[in-house]
Amino acid sequence: SFDASSKIPTPNLDYLASDGTVFLDAHSSSGICSPSRHAFLTGRYHWRSKIFDHLGSYGQPTIGTSRLTIPKMLKEVGYHTALIGKWHLGWDWNAIKKKGRKSKYPNDFNWNQKIPGGPIEQGGYDYYFGEDVINFPPYCWFENEHVYGKEP
């Protein structure tokens, strides 16, 4: 077993560990989600991109479309990429804001439109399914660049 002191058998993980690379010491550039996620995807310290805190509700994109990310790098060598889960690195919410609306209430946005600036456009993923962040609005699921279940 990879961890002989474990009371939980993990034969598949043990196999992967015996036939691959094992990391025993890992670090994060930040103790909160947005900066550490940004650093992991871009290989760039979060403070160099001036991301010091988590994004609040309806945060704007933090990774420029020209910035190389792990998914973009993998696609360059033939991989297909997907992200399932929490994104929390911003979207271009202003692109779907209804004309003349200044607040950030759900009725201020057109949820049937494509939402640019998310994991497909700035992250470089081929496919995305998940939520922006579970404890902030808009409290919905996304598939690629649309609210899940809405007609694009």
> Which H helix or E strand runs over 37?
helix 33-42
Catalytic entry in 38, 46, 54, 88: 88
pLDDT at 73 > cutoff 80: yes
Cα 134–chain centre separation: 12
Residue 98 near residue 110, CB atoms below 8 Å: yes
Residue 35 near residue 59, CB atoms below 8 Å: no
Residue 33 near residue 133, CB atoms below 8 Å: yes
> Which H helix or E strand runs over 127?
strand 127-130
79-112 tens-digit pLDDT:
999 999 999 999 999 999 999 998 888 899 999 9
52-72 tens-digit pLDDT:
888 888 999 999 899 999 999
**88 given a catalytic annotation:** yes
Cα–Cα distance measured from residue 143 to residue 124, given in angstroms and rounded to the nearest whole number: 14
Catalytic entry in 27, 33, 54, 146: 33
Nearest to 63 by CA among 40, 81, 94, 86: 40
Cα 84–chain centre separation: 8
Question: Could you tell me the two tokens for 121?
Answer: 């456009």
> Which H helix or E strand runs over 130?
strand 127-130
**33 given a catalytic annotation:** yes
pLDDT at 1 > cutoff 70: no
